[in-house]
Each structure stands twice: as C-alpha cells, then as structure tokens.
C-alpha cells in the first residue's frame, strides 16, 4: 500500500504545474520560436494585458503537423511559427485576421488572404570566416558560388526549411531550369552539408568552411557563445535569390474559443514594445517589420533589403516541386 500511496503522491506532484486542459482559461500558444529567444515576450504580454498564457514550444514543422493531426480539437489558440511554410501548411485551419492588424505589415510579409502576418523579418546572407576572406572576396550573388574556386569551401543545410525556402525563391524568380543547373553546378563544388543554420555558422567560425548560406541572425547567437569568433555576414545584391527576406509569423486558429485574446497577442507582437524587442532585448537581431522601428545597429535598413520578387504565400504550394528538384539533383534522398 505504501507503493500505491507513493505513486499517487508522485502523480499529484508531477501534474501540479500547468495541468491546464481545455477549460477556456489561459491562452494556449504553440510556439515554433525558440524559448530561449522569445520567452520574455510572453511575460511582457501577460503583464500588460492580464491575459494568462500557456506556451507549448517545439519545432515549427512538428507543431504544424501536430495541429493538423489535432484537427478541430486543437487546444492551440494561436500558432507562432519560424517560417511561412509551417503556417501555410495549416492555413485552412487559420481564421482571417482583422484588417487593422494586417495593415500594419507590408504585403510582402503576410498571407495574401490575411490568415497570418509576419512578426519579425530575417534575411538570407552569406556568413564568412573573416580570417580566410575579406568582405570583397565574398560574392554578391549566389550564382557566383558555382565558380570552381569555392570547391569544398561552402556550407549548406539542404534538409533545413530555410535553405529549401531559398531554393523555392530561386525557382520562382529565376526559373526551374536555371535553378536545376545552379544546383548541379553547386554539387560539383562539393559543398559541406549540415543539419541546420547554427552548425554552419559554427563551422565558418572554426574555419571548417570559408562561407555558408544561412539566415542573418544566427551569427549573433554563435557570437553569444564564442564572442571572439572570426565571422561576419555579407548581404547579397538586391533581387538575388540569395537575398531572400522572409518572416516568422503568427496566425489564430479557427477552432479557438479565445480568438479575441489571441488577436490581442498578435497586436502585441506588432506593437512598439513587441517590435522593439528584436532591437533591444533579443540577442539575435531580427528585423522589426512595423514601419518606423529601426533594426539593431549595424544592420542595413529593411527597406534596402530587396530579395527576389516572390510572394511568400505561394511558397507552400511551390514547396513540393522544390523538394523534388533537390532530390533530382542529389541534395536530398
């Protein structure tokens, strides 16, 4: 009997924190954005509005798959994702946001049907090792990376959503044929493959590679861990697919019974406080998307970042063909 008493005690103690459930209490948010980066924002929101928040952290794509499997019974009120692709994959489960919210964000950073908005921006860049290269050596276009002189010196993450979105951008702006040729030529240069962005930036810092294709803000995370790392970002020429500017974004679930509170959270993310967070509080220097708020010092202004002329909303539909192309050219199996 002692054993049973022990088990009952253990279960009670374990279940004590956040046994939430779907009692219409706190606002439930699924966050694909990393806890280490955004947790303070949730506290700020609760403090400001008095609305309690429960956050389930996870990988954006895995959370999107979870929401899809949950269907109409999803406990989530709001999905905050790393990338437009994850949001796009469950767009049929998202409700349309009010026009006042949508109007705050440039059209290039929101869903054309208003089901999600961008909350912060990130640019594709080339990260490079400053001991091996000076900024002048780094190409202004990804198309120059097929030059044989870069053989064995490039790092990429072909299984990562951010690299795949960049390839989609190339397909949509430069066409399938040119993209295929570029991929084949890049393969001849024997690029090193990594799991995701952070290891590429670390590899550039270690000199394992000379340059890598990544999102701009990972540099700051790696610098946090290794302050003296010899690395820098190079922003590519306007219109180049390698200059793609994308966004993390948020959408409210249609099945939510607290959509008002959820919309208030989106408003909060786009408020002065929510947007200044990326400038002042966060260590990773993403771009605020609301007009009039300057990015962290040292970053080129958002308006000067002009990626290829593509619609982020169309990425979801174009994704499958990108995967197919990456398979054909041997980057994925």
Partner 1 sequence: MSRGAGTRAPLPLALAAGIVVAALLLPLAYLVIRVVGGGRALEILGEASTWRLVWNTVLLAIGVVAASVLVGVPLAWLVTRTDLPARRVWSTAGALPLVIPSYVAAFCLLGFFGERGLLADALGVEHLPDVRGYWGALVALTLATYPYVFLLTQAALRNLDPSLEEVARGLGTSGRRTYIRVIAPALRPAVGLGALLVALYTLSDFGVVSLMNYDTLTRAIYVQYKSLFDRAPAATLALLLAALTAVALVIEYRTRRRGRLYRTGPGAQRPQPIVRLGRWKAPALAFCAAVVGLFLILPAGVLGYWLARGIANEREFQMPWREAFHSLGASGLAAGAAVLAALPVALLALRYPSRTSNMLERLSYAGNALPGLVIALSLVFFAARYASPVYQTLALLVFAYVVRFFPQGLSGVESALERVSPRYEEAARGLGRGPLQTIALVTVPLVRSGVLAGAALVFLSAMKELPATLLLRPIGFETLATEIWKLTQVGAYSRAALPALVLIAVSAPVLYLISSNRRFESGGSG
Q: Is 276 in the site for partner 1 (CB under 8 A)?
A: no
Q: Which of 46, 49, 66, 271 binds partner 1 (CB under 8 A)?
A: 66
Q: Which of 59, 96, 176, 267 binds partner 1 (CB under 8 A)?
A: 59
Separation of alpha carbons 141 and 138, rounded Å:
9
Q: Which spans in the chain are helix H?
A: 2-15, 35-49, 60-70, 84-89, 99-103, 161-174, 176-188, 197-206, 218-225, 259-270, 272-280, 315-328
Q: Is 296 in the site for partner 1 (CB under 8 A)?
A: no
Residue placing its CB nearer to partner 1 in the complex, 7 or 238: 7
Q: Which stretch binds partner 1 (CB under 8 A): 102-110, 131-139, 187-195, 291-299?
A: 187-195
Q: Which of 192, 264, 276, 296 binds partner 1 (CB under 8 A)?
A: 192
Q: Which residues contact 252 (CB under 8 A, 6 or more apart)?
A: 77, 78, 94, 95, 97, 259, 262, 263, 266
Q: Is 203 in the site for partner 1 (CB under 8 A)?
A: yes
Measured in residues, the chain has a length of 333
At residue 249, what are phi and psi to the nearest 5 degrees?
-150, 170
At residue 120, what are phi and psi to the nearest 5 degrees?
-155, 155
Residue 161 CB, nearest distance to partner 1 (Å)?
6
Tokens of 71: 């269907």
Q: Which stretch binds partner 1 (CB under 8 A): 103-111, 113-121, 269-277, 315-323?
A: 315-323
Residue 145 CB, nearest distance to partner 1 (Å)?
20
Residue placing its CB nearer to partner 1 in the complex, 143 or 265: 265
Separation of alpha carbons 30 and 32, rounded Å:
7
Separation of alpha carbons 5 and 11, rounded Å:
10
Separation of alpha carbons 25 and 31, rounded Å:
18
The number of helices, as runs of H, and strands, as runs of E, in the chain is 12, 9
- CA distances 70 to 28, 32, 76, 163, 263, Å, are 14, 17, 9, 28, 21
- Which string of x and - marks every residue 152-171 that binds partner 1 (by CB under 8 A)? -------x-x--x-------
Q: Which of 27, 42, 45, 64 binds partner 1 (CB under 8 A)?
A: 64
Between β-strands 154-156 and 211-215, what pairing exists: parallel, antiparallel or unpaired? Answer: parallel
Q: Is 21 in the site for partner 1 (CB under 8 A)?
A: yes
**Largest interatomic CA distance in the chain:** 75
Q: Tell me which H or E stretch contains 83.
A: none
**Best CA proximity match to 282, nearest among 270, 291, 271, 273:** 273
Residue placing its CB nearer to partner 1 in the complex, 224 or 272: 224
Separation of alpha carbons 310 and 261, rounded Å:
32
3-class state of residue 108 by DSSP: helix
Residue placing its CB nearer to partner 1 in the complex, 111 or 284: 284
Residue 7 CB, nearest distance to partner 1 (Å)?
7
Q: Which of 20, 40, 98, 175 binds partner 1 (CB under 8 A)?
A: 20
Q: Which of 189, 198, 271, 306 binds partner 1 (CB under 8 A)?
A: 198
Q: Is 131 in the site for partner 1 (CB under 8 A)?
A: no
Find the binding residues for partner 1 in span 79-98 (CB under 8 A): 85-86, 88-89
Residue 66 CB, nearest distance to partner 1 (Å)?
5
Q: Where on the chain is the footprint of partner 1 (CB under 8 A)? A: 7, 10-11, 13-15, 17-22, 28, 34-37, 54-59, 61-66, 68-71, 73-75, 85-86, 88-89, 159, 161, 164, 192-195, 198, 201-203, 206-208, 218, 221-222, 224-225, 227, 284, 316, 319-320, 323, 327, 332-333
């Amino acid at each position: 009997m002692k054993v049973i008493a022990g088990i009952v005690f253990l279960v009670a103690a374990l279940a004590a924190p956040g046994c939430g459930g779907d009692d219409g209490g706190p606002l439930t948010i699924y966050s694909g954005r990393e806890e280490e980066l955004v947790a303070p924002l949730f506290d700020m929101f609760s403090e400001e509005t008095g609305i309690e928040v429960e956050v389930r952290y996870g990988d954006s794509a895995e959370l999107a798959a979870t929401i899809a499997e949950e269907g109409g019974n999803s406990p989530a009120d709001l999905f905050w994702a790393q990338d437009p692709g994850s949001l796009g994959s469950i767009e049929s489960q998202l409700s349309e946001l009010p026009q006042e919210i949508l109007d705050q964000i440039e059209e290039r950073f929101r869903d054309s049907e208003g089901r999600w908005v961008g909350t912060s921006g990130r640019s594709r860049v080339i990260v490079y090792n400053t001991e091996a290269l000076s900024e002048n050596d780094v190409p202004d276009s990804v198309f120059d990376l097929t030059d044989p002189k870069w053989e064995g010196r490039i790092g990429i993450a072909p299984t990562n959503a951010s690299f795949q979105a960049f390839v989609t951008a190339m397909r949509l702006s430069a066409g399938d044929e040119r993209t295929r040729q570029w991929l084949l030529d890049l393969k001849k240069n024997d690029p090193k493959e990594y799991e995701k962005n952070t290891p590429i930036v670390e590899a550039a810092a270690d000199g394992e590679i000379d340059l890598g294709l990544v999102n701009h803000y990972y540099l700051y995370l790696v610098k946090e861990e290794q302050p003296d790392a010899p690395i820098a970002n190079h922003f590519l020429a306007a219109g180049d697919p390698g200059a793609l500017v994308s966004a993390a974004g948020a959408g409210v679930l249609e099945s939510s019974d607290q959509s008002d509170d959820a919309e208030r959270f989106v408003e909060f993310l786009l408020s002065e406080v929510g947007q200044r967070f990326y400038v002042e509080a966060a260590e990773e220097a993403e771009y605020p998307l609301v007009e009039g708020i300057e990015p962290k010092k040292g970053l080129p202004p958002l308006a000067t970042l002009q990626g290829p002329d593509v619609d982020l909303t169309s990425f979801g539909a174009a994704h499958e063909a990108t995967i197919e192309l990456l398979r054909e050219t041997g980057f994925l199996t």
